Chain A
Amino acid sequence: MQNKLPLYLLLSILLLIVLAAVSLYMGVYTFEKESFTALLKGVISNDNNISDSDRFVMMDLRLPRISMAILIGSALAVSGTCLQGMFKNPLATPDLIGITSGASLFAAITIVLGSAIKPYLPEVVQFSLLSIMAFVGALLTMILVYRISTSNGKTNVIVMLLSGVAITALGFAITGFLIYISKEEQLRDLTFWNLGSLAGVTWTKNAILLVIIAISYLFLINKGKALNAMMLGERDAQHLGIPVERIKKQIVLLTALMVGTSVAFAGTIGFVGLIVPYILRLIFKSNYHIILPMSAVLGSVLLLTADTISRTIAAPSEVPIGILTAFMGAPIFIVILIRNRKSM
């Protein structure tokens, strides 16, 4: 099982590449140049082989959007997996315990307060500020939920979920109030905050996401074995020489960072952190050594599929992506509840 990990990863990355290529060709607009190689050549060589519209749709609409789906899908799935490992519970996901709400609340506040100075800031600073604020929101929520629900290293699942419900309700009320009083265009879009959308993608946002995800994975992606040990009990893991407290701190900080940035750029896309680890657990049991790196790729597969459907199913308009992920995720949520009702 252990030595097969590279093979599984390779296969799922291949699947992702195929999906991305297919997704590039799906949409309302049809390219004049049919073959993939011709398109690629035209874009790279910068001669006038392909029309400006082709180039624009590929380089400024579809490619950045596919990249964003891959980045955010991966970030949300890994965040979910890490949190589940830390809380030792399959229901600990960023959206269910209220971290997503905390992030979107702070993002909304930033947009309202920042609208006055927005025109004077370069794009990079604007988006960085937004992601930093969303990160602060996510982090504060995470610390709050952890403090409320965990004592002596034991997490009370009911309390964890209910504190998530409470924070989500509070966040919803404040965000709703902000939207009500705000004249700011960006904020008026309620569906964006509730159901998410990748339509606002820019290369700048993708670059910020890429940096944050790279830094986070540097610390998190190889923590599978440590999480396996922590499943047995934190004290035993400590005896095995695993720095439990430090790993927990890293998970809290980095998942808040990833979730915060994702929410700031794409709104609230729920259930990704629940679906992906659940499916992986069905196949690989609770072996985090395999689940954690695999969730990074499968999260991308899931969100890329969902976004491609959202772009194409009701063309020329778009179905909010959160509707699709909720359709996939809510039944799984219920199944987990039924399976674990004895142990709750």
Chain B
Amino acid sequence: MKHITKTLALALIVLTTISCKNEKEKTDETTTTTDSIAVVKTQRIISLNGALTEIVAGLGHRDEIVGVDVTSSYPEAIKETAQDLGHVRSISVEAIMALKPTLVLATNRDISPELAQKIELAGVTTQIFEREYTPYGAKKTIEEVANILEDDGAEQLKKQIDNGLEKVNVLKQQPKVLFIYARSAGALMVSGKNTPVDKIITLAGGVNAIDGFDDYKPLTPEAVVKANPDVILMFNSGIQSLGGVEGAMAQIQGIDKTNAGKNKKIIAMDGGLLSGFGPRLGEAAAQLNSKLAQSTNAK
């Protein structure tokens, strides 16, 4: 009798383990089959970078964008149809999940690896683009996005860039341009080398007045005087935060000692246009080029 119960118990244990194993194998199979779903033609896209938003919209997928970050300012009305998720730095995964996206696009400069990892874990396809701030880099990103969306409209957008770049005229004397990034008078930064703004200044025929460092550094009056720029370049939003051109002249110390200040040469452009390196790169370079030409001729 005892033996029987023992063997029965053993048999039970063996059976359960086997069935458990079977179950495991079964679930494994189901996951592998679900992995190869046929590609859905319409996506729900979250774009976490202004240039990427422009590219997606430029390729004609604007209606598929359900969420954007704060830098996505173009097309102008994009934030009326897509939810503004704020700064990439402070976006929560849950806010992204709530929009039930099928595709998340971001650049490696914006998104933190932890956030990207979490979105991937949630089972949403995440594409992270390496940006290179050159015409070639802009075109490359356009191609990459088009490939992901299986869209053949990349050529047209690339042509748009070339058309704009052709309108850039060589300037007789290359003006020294100082870019000032302003959030308010208390928080002024100047652009050094290898920033998107530095690259677009070069593309438009100017020279960055700062060549001693990379990236952005806080602005000091001494550095402004030493750089002695011919032109000050700012974002529209930055000029506004200082209260217009007059306000900027009054609030940025040292500016009145420079050529730009003496001749009142402050030019402003839209931030997204100037530093996006997206489909409107050609347009941005041409616009900056003509503004620089005006300011140097008007001496």
Interface set of A (CB-CB < 8 Å, partner B): 27-30, 46, 48, 52-53, 56-57, 60-62, 185, 189, 199-200, 311, 315-318
Contacts and interface: CB of A to CB of B under 8 A. Distances in A.
B244 interface: no
Contacts of B30: 48
Ranked 6 nearest A-B pairs via Cβ:
A316-B95, A29-B98, A28-B98, A56-B122, A52-B123, A317-B86
B92 interface: yes
B123 A60 contact: no
Contact of B98 (A60, A185, A316): A316
B115 to A, nearest CB: 10
Nearest to A30: B98
B97 to A, nearest CB: 5
Contacts of B227: none
Given A28-B95, A185-B112, A200-B114, A56 B123 contact: yes
Interface in B82-133: 83, 85-87, 89-95, 97-98, 100, 112-114, 118, 121-123
B5 interface: no
A56 B123 CA distance: 8
Contacts of B98: 27-30, 316
A56 B121 contact: yes
B122 A28 contact: no
16 contacts: A27-B98, A28-B95, A28-B97, A29-B94, A53-B123, A56-B121, A57-B94, A60-B118, A62-B94, A199-B92, A311-B92, A316-B91, A316-B94, A316-B95, A316-B98, A317-B87
A30 B97 CA distance: 9
A60 B93 CA distance: 10
A306 B87 CA distance: 23
A56 B90 contact: no
A29 B119 CA distance: 14
Contacts of A29: 94-95, 97-98
A318 B90 contact: yes
Contacts of A28: 92, 94-95, 97-98
A22 to B, nearest CB: 16
A49 B86 CA distance: 33
B7 interface: no
Nearest to A32: B100
Contacts of B94: 27-29, 57, 61-62, 311, 316
Nearest to B89: A189
Nearest to A316: B95
- Which of A30, A200, A316, A318 has most B Cβ within 10 Å? A316
A185 B113 contact: yes
Contacts of A62: 94
B27 interface: yes
B121 to A, nearest CB: 6
Given A185-B113, A200-B114, A315 B123 contact: no
B208 to A, nearest CB: 22
B100 A53 contact: yes
Secondary structure at the B interface, as helix, strand, loop or mixed, is helix
Interface of B: 27, 30, 83, 85-87, 89-95, 97-98, 100, 112-114, 118, 121-123
A194 to B, nearest CB: 15
Given A28-B98, A57-B97, A316 B122 contact: no
A318 B83 CA distance: 16
Nearest to B119: A56
B114 A46 contact: no
A53 B95 contact: no
B123 A316 contact: no
Nearest to A56: B122
Contacts of B112: 185
B85 A316 contact: yes
A317 B113 CA distance: 18
- Which of B30, B90, B121 has most A Cβ within 10 Å? B90
A334 to B, nearest CB: 30
Given A28-B92, A316-B83, A317-B91, 17 more contacts: A27-B94, A28-B94, A28-B98, A29-B97, A56-B121, A56-B122, A57-B94, A60-B118, A60-B121, A61-B93, A61-B94, A61-B97, A62-B94, A185-B112, A189-B89, A316-B95, A317-B86
A315 B95 contact: yes
A165 to B, nearest CB: 27
A206 B191 CA distance: 42
A266 to B, nearest CB: 14
B296 to A, nearest CB: 37
A28 B122 CA distance: 15
Contact of A53 (B85, B92, B97, B113): B97
Contacts of A27: 94, 98
A29 B98 CA distance: 4
A52 B100 CA distance: 11
A292 B45 CA distance: 51
Contacts of B83: 316
A61 B118 CA distance: 9
B213 to A, nearest CB: 14
Contacts of B85: 316-317
Contacts of A57: 94, 97, 122
Nearest to A46: B27
Contacts of A56: 97, 121-123
A66 to B, nearest CB: 13
A56 B93 CA distance: 10
A167 B91 CA distance: 33
A60 B83 CA distance: 23
B92 to A, nearest CB: 6
A265 to B, nearest CB: 13
B221 to A, nearest CB: 21
A200 B94 CA distance: 13
Given A316-B91, A316-B98, A318-B92, A53 B122 contact: yes
A316 B100 CA distance: 14
